[in-house]
Structure 1
Amino acid sequence: MPSSALHVARTGLEAQDTRMRVIANNLANVGTTGFKRDRANFATLAYQDARVAGQQSSGETAYATGLNLGTGVGIQATTRIDSQGSLQTTGAALDLALDGDGYFQVSLPGGQLAYTRAGNFSRSAEGQLVTAQGYIVQPPITIPEGASSITVAQDGTVSAVVAGNAEPTQLGQLTIASFANPGGLQSAGDNFLKETAASGQAQIGAPGEAGRGHIRQGFLEASNVNVVEELVDMIECQRAYEINSKMVSAVDEMLKNANQTL
């Protein structure tokens, strides 16, 4: 029995340690543009049936309830919470936020597509619209040298006043990717996500169509991390860790006394 309790306590420690790392990562990214918080999901481990409900208790009666002993708790999965973060005004022409569902498309080195909610874009030396890492936004938008009054409409149409022209010139249109199961997207680091079999294939379309969000120029989407909520979760996690730690110490002391007595 003590060894079984020790196993339960140790699995609890491992689960709370993972949960603490998830919370710490959320808090570390509270200022990351477009970041989506994660949540640790727990699941009970296998149960040992010491007595099954309905088992005969005598020749004429049966137990109304069973006796089941749990073997602890484990991390089932981590879930990304894709709720909308608040939109913060920057006034910068190439800062874009998605007001609603969907993702900007980015071409990673090697040609693989990645997806992000972070729209803090800029103009490269070649005039292309790129991320902070220099990755080209898809579909490619080239902003000519000397262009001014750059505007990005809610439907993704990019225009600018090009030298020699009095009227704005359309430079292209940004499209947005949506997924049947956004939670199935896999993190690729640097605030990028990759398509997986669980997410389904990207459905590409214009902003504002088929449930996709609109583009808001001069805004950035803030992280959806709620600092107060995360701190409360951290305190709860610390208390659970302390309880399991005390359980481990108590069982160790019981086993020590038993060994010394025997």
Structure 2
Amino acid sequence: MKALSIAATGMAAQDLNVSVIANNIANINTTGFKRARAEFTDLLYQTERLKGVSSRGQANTVPEGAQLGLGVRTASIRNLHIQGSLANTGNRLDWALSGRGWFQVTDANGDTVYTRAGAFNTNASGQIVTADGYVVSPPMIVPSNAVDVTVSQSGLVSAIIAGQTAPQQLGQLSLANFANEAGLTPLGNNLYKQTEASGAPVVGVPGDPGFATISQYYLESSNVDPVKEITDLIAAQRAYEMNSKVIQAASEMQATVSKNMG
């Protein structure tokens, strides 16, 4: 029976949906995390009767016809790059983005990757790095005798050196924007990489039109809404149960047919 295979695709779709929701909830406290949403499309249709063809060879045509859908499939798992709320940390190397844009980071392979998680630190050389030791681009070195580090909303990084009255400029942060942020590939560790779908990065200065500003002493929280996730979880669970009921009904109907034929 076709109903068995159709309902099976529905159960598989809701199983994936619950997995996406579970990942969102698991990352509810992950800095800079962007929630994901599973999106589905219907499968091919099997034509039982063509629409628009002549009826019994006469001039009249079949107005609707009969097409049977064969189920559902996953179209995409979309990351929703919506601004998260800002949380004050009091850490001078915690920087949050307000608006569109990505910090640029050089990974262990020398490739440029992108992140919204601005929980930075300094390595043994004084370079500003991520929690995994990846260097923030453009690279900047904080002098060992610096007593404080400041970053302006426009991304100008300065250090106050012991014995000096005027701050010393360390560099100018730049941000990257993408035409299609949903096309970025998540790598884990709060990092993303560009793809053909995302388009090439457009680099600019924080505060420029279309680019985020930087808030020092803050981190961007996850944009996961726990109430929405629980609501979506309940809806996915109910949909899974309904598909299982269809399989149960189809199995009973098939058993009835087999019994009567035997």
User: Which TM bucket (shorter chain)?
Assistant: over 0.9
Aligned counterparts, 1:1-262, within 5 A: 3-58=1-56, 59-262=58-261
Gaps of 5+ in 2: none
Once the two structures are TM-superposed, the CA of residue 57 in structure 1 deviates from its matched residue by 3.2
CA distance in 2, matches of 1:66, 1:220: 57
CA distance in 2, matches of 1:205, 1:169: 22
Gaps of 5+ in 1: none
Give SS of 2:149's match.
Answer: strand
Q: Deviations over 1:171-221 (max 9, x none)?
A: 111110111111111011111000111111111121112411011111111
Give SS of 2:87's match.
Answer: strand
CA distance in 2, matches of 1:62, 1:168: 83
The two structures have a TM-score, normalised by structure 1, of 0.96
Which residue type is aligned with residue 85 of structure 2? S
The two structures have a TM-score, normalised by structure 2, of 0.96
Once the two structures are TM-superposed, the CA of residue 54 in structure 1 deviates from its matched residue by 2.2
CA distance in 1, matches of 2:69, 2:54: 22
Give SS of 1:55's match.
Answer: coil
CA distance in 2, matches of 1:107, 1:253: 59
Q: Deviations over 1:149-177 (max 9, x none)?
A: 31100111111111231211111111101
Which residue type is aligned with residue 25 of structure 1? N
Q: Deviations over 1:207-236 (max 9, x none)?
A: 112411011111111111111011101000
CA distance in 2, matches of 1:8, 1:184: 30
Give SS of 1:159's match.
Answer: strand
Divergent runs of 4+, >3 A: none
Which residue type is aligned with residue 158 of structure 1? V
Once the two structures are TM-superposed, the CA of residue 60 in structure 1 deviates from its matched residue by 4.5
